[in-house]
Amino acid sequence: MKLVKKNQKLHNPDSPLLIGELKEGDVVKEVKELSYIDAQVRLI
């Protein structure tokens, strides 16, 4: 529970990140994430 409260304090609503902010030296990489929703079998 302590970790949750600590992370809540790091939240910045103006940041593109969910928790915290980018710092000097941080590297952001874009990765291709496949969706498994499209691969679901549908019953018609």
pLDDT in tens, 1-44: 898 898 888 888 888 888 888 889 999 899 998 877 766 666 77
CA–CA separation, 5 and 10 (whole Å): 9
Query: pLDDT per residue over 33-44, tens digit each?
Result: 887 776 666 677
pTM of the model: 0.40
- Alpha carbons 4 and 17: distance in angstroms, whole number: 16
Residue 14 contacts residue 22 (beta carbons within 8 Å): no
Query: Length of the chain in residues, anyone?
Result: 44
CA distance 22 to 19: 10
Confidence at residue 26, expressed as pLDDT on a 0 to 100 scale? 92
